[in-house]
Amino acid sequence: MLKLRNSLIVCIFSFVFFAHAQDQTAKLDSLIASYYPNSDDPGIVLLISDVGKGAIYANAQGVAKLEDSSSLSLTSNFRMASVSKQFTAYAIYQLFKEGKMKLTDPIGKFLPSLKGAAATIKISELLNHTSGIKDYENIIPEQQKEQLSDADVLQLISPYTDAFTEDNRRFKYSNTAYCLLSLIVERVSGQVYTDYMKTHIFDPLGMVHTQIFEQEARIANRAFGYTLRDKNFVFADQSITSATKGDGGVYCSAVDYQIWATHVMQLAMSNTDYGKDLLRQETASNVSKDVDYSLGWFVIDNNAGRTCLLHSGESTGFHNIVLLIPEEGKSISLFTNRDDMQVSSFFDQVLKVLDIQLKGMNGKEVFRWLSDAYADKH
């Protein structure tokens, strides 16, 4: 009788779980149909994964390239924009753990063209946006026509000595910092940044279709970027800052990103130094009362008391956002090849379906809160 009762309980639990999962799937399908109804427009890929179960929801809607109407899929490669920063940070951390550099090293040791206070900035301060270094986007010459490289960024800021002192050190998001970090990867490893990322991160993890943007390189299954103008989408795939690598140059698919997310979550939940340093340890900076920044991630708690890893990416033609909950083994990746703000309310509705609330948003949509953090308005 006891065995029968236990079997009945298991059956009831399985039925309830299955019904709940079906309900979530139906709600997510409905959201996509509501927010992105036109399959002939640039669109989105949404993938929700569980470390133990794999993909628990996956959907692609829209086209990768308007000119030939090619459809988006889970293997479409999107420009990650600032989601790329977590990869650059990981490369720096690898070199640190190999004893090739220290996080407390002054960056002038590797970038001797920097002078004054800028040369004394520590690598950890670049990683977590507490350096106060000059924002290169504000000093691009008006006559600049060619796309900038990371080396160009270094040349642009080298005449300046901008840096925070101990008295005024705080979080201030910096794309300059991550362009410099990619150059430090090159100086320390002796490899070109793109080669280092491929041989030490992407290939070992099996992310065989992930790559760094290069002007002459072909990106397979590439999603091209678009912007909305007068109710029509127009091609807007590149800007003058789209060729820098360390701050935003990764192209990745939802399938490959799931591999990366699983790797990060497993490290976060293990007793590795990376896992301990990632989750609000000594390398983290304080963004606000409830939010930290660590190794390329915003670190924040949700309504269930779970620590979450969060980042978005905004660039010409692309808006992306990713969320990891290591303790639950759950990841959400939302990639879009359109730079309208539709993604912001859509992502909040996805979180609502999944019953996830993030602390510290101060009533703002998550994507907009992050956008404000980048603009120093948090």
Mean pLDDT, the chain, whole residue set:
93
**How many Cα neighbours within 13 Å face the side chain of 257?**
32
Higher-confidence residue of 275 and 244: namely 244
pLDDT score for 10: 41
pLDDT score for 8: 43
pLDDT score for 1: 55
Domain ranges of the chain: 35-374
Higher-confidence residue of 377 and 355: namely 355
**How many Cα neighbours within 13 Å face the side chain of 89?**
25
pLDDT score for 250: 98
User: Percentage of the chain with pLDDT > 90?
Assistant: 87
CATH class of residue range 35-374: alpha beta
pLDDT score for 19: 53
Look at the block and give the residue holding tokens 């924040």.
300
Tens-place pLDDT, residues 122-176: 999 999 999 999 999 999 999 998 999 999 999 999 999 999 998 899 999 999 9
Higher-confidence residue of 272 and 193: namely 193
pLDDT score for 346: 98
Residue 280 confidence (pLDDT) above 90: no
pLDDT score for 278: 83
Look at the block and give the residue holding tokens 């100086």.
187
334-237-367-260 Cα dihedral, nearest 10 degrees:
40
Tens-place pLDDT, residues 218-252: 999 999 999 999 989 999 999 999 999 999 999 99
- What would the mean pLDDT of 15-34 be, rounded to a whole number? 80
Residue 281 confidence (pLDDT) above 70: no
Residue 15 confidence (pLDDT) above 50: no
Tens-place pLDDT, residues 172-199: 999 999 999 999 999 999 999 999 999 9
Burial (Cβ within 10 Å: 0-12, 13-18, ≥19) of residue 82: buried
Banded model confidence at residue 345, pLDDT cuts 50, 70, 90:
very high
Look at the block and give the residue holding tokens 């192209």.
251
Residue 16 confidence (pLDDT) above 90: no
- Judge whether 339 and 318 are in contact, CB under 8 Å: yes
